[in-house]
Each structure stands twice: as structure tokens, then as C-alpha cells.
Amino acid sequence: MHIAGARPNFPKAAPVIRALERHGVAQRLVHTGQHYDERMSEVFFRQLGLPEPDENLAVGSGSHARQTAEMMTRLETYFQDTGPALVVVYGDVNSTLAATLVATKLAIPVAHVEAGLRSFNRAMPEEINRLVTDRLSDLLFATSPEALVQLGNEGIAAQKVHFVGNPMIDTLLANRDRVEPATIRDQLGLSERYVVATLHRPANVDDAADAAELAKAMHGVAEQIEVVLPLHPRGRHRLAAAGLFPHPGIRVVDPQGYLEFLGLIQGARAVLTDSGGVQEETTVLGVPCLTLRAETERPVTITHGTNRLVTRAGLADEVRALLAADRRTADWPVPPLWDGRAGERIAEVIAEFVGSR
């Protein structure tokens, strides 16, 4: 049983579901409804060819505690009614934590796709979700060598851990020929010279002073190059209140579908983000990335040379230097096992695990 609930889960789950179909493994897909806006979830099912969910819990938004508790309550009933042999969770969202806790207490094994990522910042809710999920999981699928090392450092039994590569990159590579940068650029009325920004982390947008500093930094970027900002619903009000927009150099647009967003990235001179997955997508697409955070749980993007951590105060200068260098990284080799076959590797392990039980 696959548990998905938020936009980042869907590209990770799609290749695993398809590969398990080829192994003849009976599957169910549960959508918790953590992301419920059409542009944040349903469009992904259409574009990625995912099956319609067998169950949509329609949990919706709320505080971390209320949202997680509601998911746990509904998942407990569903697991008891259906009796899955294995629960597969993805990434680090609240849906992942809720399903892991419920399955473990019902003695149902858990597989965690994207295990071992650590920011070492427990102020991030996602970090707590990662730590708890990895500690309780029976199968841990790592996307990078650094994740393998971290799981070993934490004492996770080696026989539980499998280095499989990155299934989100499977989805990117499978759809790369469908990505049309010029089309989305024309649809949004963008120039050929722009950067993409994605900003939603609490550390950047929740505190009024932080949001105001971010707005000032983004204005410094917009004086150099057009900025297109697909804005997560969570941050729109706060960033507007902070004075980020309206601004003549900043184009605020609604969240984009999967293919449209990849088109935006591929056509950009650079990407400014506080998102985790975007750091990985830019690494494969060969677009320089500047991450507005003090740390990242995806250090492979830093060591690979495609991503840099930057401060709000230094952002405008970093963008100026990057634009002057006109650096693209498309010809660089990708990290190990980011080859489009992670879903197949995961499916092989899962098929053997459930078969043995």
C-alpha cells in the first residue's frame, strides 16, 4: 500500500508503482489529501499516468499536530480493514510520518523511499518526520551515498538499507522529452532571460522580519533579471504582506503542473529555492541552483557542484556573479544511480520482501 499526500510524493511514487505492476504485486494507492488543491495534486495523477487513488482521506490543511492526528485516525481504520502486507511511504511530509506510526503500531512493515536524508536542523518539521520514519522502517531505500553513511551512523541495521538511486529522477528522465520550456514561457509571457524562485519554508516566510528581509533580497535580484515565482498558497499572504509583490521585476504565478514546472526550470538562467526536491531536479537538468537555507538534507547537490547555500543578505550578489559567469551544468555527470532505474531496484527488493512473508 502506497501512501502519498503532498506534491513531492507523486513523482517519487510513480516509477515504483509501475515497476511493481511488472512484478505482479497487488497494490493500493492512498491519497491522504494533505495537498488537496488541483494544481498541487490531481494534475500530477494526469501528467504522470498514476492510477486513481483507491482511497482519498481528504484530510486537508491544519496544524502539524491536527493534520497528522487526523491522518493517523483515518489510516488506522483503513489499514485494519484492508490488511496490507507492506506500507510504502515517501519523503518527509506529515503523511509519511502518520502512516509510519500507524503501520508500526499495527505490526505492519514499512518501507521508506528516500531514507537517510538529514538537515541536522530539528526546527524543521520534516527533519523530525525523517528521523522517526527511518527509525521505525523495515526497508530503507537510500538515494545517495551520503544517506547510506548517515543511516549507518545512526545504527540502522545494514540488511534493512538499500542504495537504489532516486525515483524522482526516474520520473524526470521519463518525461524529459515532454518538457517544453518555450511553451510555458510563452504562456506566462516571460522573456527569454529569467530566474525561477520557489519559496515556502517557515524559516523564510513565517516570521514577519524574515519575510521582509527575503522581500528585500528578491527585489535586489529582480533589479538584475526577471523573476518568476510560482507561489505556494501557504506563503502568498505572508510574502504579499512583507512587500515582495507587486514589483515590476517579479511575476507571481499559481503553482504549476509537473511538466510546466520542469519547463520553467529548464529554461531558466538559475533557480532560487528553499525546496528540497528542486535542488535535485536542477542537478539533473543542468541549471544552477541557489538554496536560501543554512543547511540542506541533500548534500550530494552541493558536492556535485550544481547547488550552493546562500543567505538572504548575500543573494543579490550571488545572482550577479552567477549571471556574469553564465554557467550551465548540463554536461556534468549525474550523482551515482540517478539513471532512471531506481523504481526497478525498489520494486525488486519489495517483491522479494513481500514474497518471503
Same domain flag for 76 and 191: no
Same domain flag for 98 and 233: no
Q: Tens digit of pLDDT for each residue in 272-310?
A: 999 999 999 999 999 999 999 999 999 999 998 899 999
CATH number at residue 261: 3.40.50.2000
Strand partners, 354: none
Residue 94 covered by a domain: yes
Same domain flag for 41 and 107: yes
Establish whether 200 is a catalytic residue: yes
Same domain flag for 32 and 6: yes
Residue 173 covered by a domain: no
| DSSP category for residue 84 | -
Q: Tens digit of pLDDT for each residue in 238-253?
A: 888 888 888 999 999 9
Residue 333 covered by a domain: no
pTM, entire model: 0.93
Catalytic residue among 35, 112, 200, 304: 200
Same domain flag for 211 and 310: yes
Same domain flag for 200 and 139: no
Assign 139 to helix, strand or coil.
strand
How many Cβ atoms sit within 10 Å of the Cβ of residue 52? 9
Same domain flag for 195 and 241: yes
Q: Can you give the residue range of the structural domain that contains 73?
A: 2-166+338-356
Same domain flag for 12 and 151: yes
Q: d(Cα 130, Cα 115) in Å, to the nearest integer? A: 7
Pairing of the two strands 289-291 and 270-273: parallel
Same domain flag for 351 and 319: no
Q: Which stretches of the chain drop beneath a pLDDT of 50?
A: 38
Residue 319 covered by a domain: yes
Residue 207 covered by a domain: yes
Same domain flag for 142 and 6: yes
Residue 221 covered by a domain: yes
Q: What is the pLDDT of residue 205?
A: 86
Same domain flag for 113 and 215: no
Residue 331 covered by a domain: no
Cis amide leading into 181 (omega within 30)? no
Residue 233 covered by a domain: yes
* 117-124 contacts at long range (C-beta below 8 A, 24 or more positions apart): 117/92, 117/143, 117/144, 117/147, 117/150, 117/276, 117/297, 117/298, 118/150, 118/297, 119/295, 119/296, 119/297, 120/295, 121/294, 121/295, 123/203, 124/201, 124/203
Q: How many domains does the chain have?
A: 2
Same domain flag for 157 and 187: no
Q: What is the pLDDT of residue 329?
A: 60
